[in-house]
Amino acid sequence: MEKNIDDYYYRKKIALQGEIGSFSEMAALQYFGSHIEILSANSFKQVAEMVKNKQAEYAILPIENSQTGGINNVHDLLLHEDLFAIGEVILKIEHCLITHPGTKRERLERIYSHPQALAQCEKYLLTNFPHCQIIPIYDTAGSIKQIKELQDLAAAGIASKRAAYYYQMQIMEQGIEDNPFNYTRFLVFSPEMINSENTNKTSIIFAVVSVPGAIYRCLKEFALREINLTRLESRPSKRKPWEYVFYMDFEKGLWDKATQEALTELRNCTTFVKVIGTYQAQAHFYSSSASISNQ
C-alpha cells in the first residue's frame, strides 16, 4: 500500500503542562520521539481539556516524584477525567540554575521555578541564596521564558539544561537538586484504553467503606494471586471529611486472567473501582541532562 506523502510530515499533537524545555516535554520526546507537536497548557486541567476537545491526541502528566511523592493535582484530576494511561516514562531530574548570559551570582535577587522544583532544591537555595526571594511559578521552563522576555537581569530560574539551550540562557550551576536520586514518573494518556495483552502494568483508583479490615480485604486479593503492588497512595475524596480514595499500581496487565479475577473480587469490597490504564512498564530510566532538540 502506497503511503500518502502527508504521513511523513504529520506530527502527533501532545498536550502537557509547561513550556518547551520543561521536564514534561522531555518525557514526551523520550516516549514519542522528536516528530511531535507540543501543545503547552498552564494547568493540568487544561491538558485534559485539550485531549477531550480533540485538540491533542495524547497527554503526558507527572504522576509522582521519588523525593516529594505523588503529584496531588494530577491524582485529583484522574479521579474525574476520562483519560487512560497507555505508557510511562521515568526521567532522572537534574535541575540547573539559569540566568541571563553574563549575570553574576551576587547580583541575583529573585529565583523562580515550579513549586516541585523549588522543594527539590530547598537546601541548595537556603545555603547559597538565603537573601533571594523565592517565587513559585507555573512551570520550570516557564520561569526561564519569563526572565528572558522581561529581561530581568537580577533573576534566575530553576529548570532543565534543555530549557537553557532552547532560550539561549546561561547555566550558572547544574545538578543543584538536593538529592541526586531524583526521578519523576510520567504517564502518557489517551482518550481510549489500550486493548492489548502485551501490557504488564496497571493503575487503578478505588475507595472503601471505613470499617476495620477494609484495606486488608482489598490487598489480600492481589497477594493471593501473587500480583506485585508497586504503589499504594491515599488522597482525600473531597466529598466528605476523612473519606479517602486509594491510587494503586501493580505489575500485571489489565487483560491478564489474574488481574481480572482480582478486580472482580475488589469490586465486592469497595465502593467504586476506576481503571486509570494499562501499559508497558518502562524498562530503564532516562536522564534529563542529555541534550535533546526537536527544533
Integer Rg of the chain from CA: 21
Q: Name the residue among 262, 261, 268 with its Cα closest to residue 214.
A: 268
CB 276 within 8 A of CB 224: no
Q: Which triple of cell numbers denotes residue 227?
A: 500480583
Residue 183 phi, psi (nearest 5): -125, 145
147: Cα within 13 Å, side-chain hemisphere: 32
For residue 14, what is its C-alpha cell? 501532545
Query: 114-118: long-range contacts at Cβ-Cβ below 8 A with a sequence spacing of 24 or more?
Result: 114/18, 114/138, 114/139, 114/140, 114/142, 114/143, 116/62, 116/65, 116/68, 116/71, 117/158, 117/159, 118/158
Active site residue 184: yes
Residues 267, 74: contact at Cβ < 8 Å? no
Q: Which letter does DSSP use for residue 43 in this model?
A: S
| 96-99 vs 155-159, strand pairing mode | antiparallel
Q: What is the distance between the alpha carbons of residues 42 and 60, in angstroms, rounded to a whole number? A: 13
- Catalytic site residue from 184, 199, 259, 278: 184
**Alpha helices, DSSP H only, in the chain?**
6-9, 23-32, 44-52, 72-80, 115-120, 122-128, 140-149, 161-167, 214-224, 257-267
Q: Which of 44, 186, 206, 222 is catalytic?
A: 186
Q: Please say if 103 is a catalytic residue.
A: no
Q: What residue has cell string 523549588?
A: 118
Question: Which residues are the active-site residues?
Answer: 184, 186
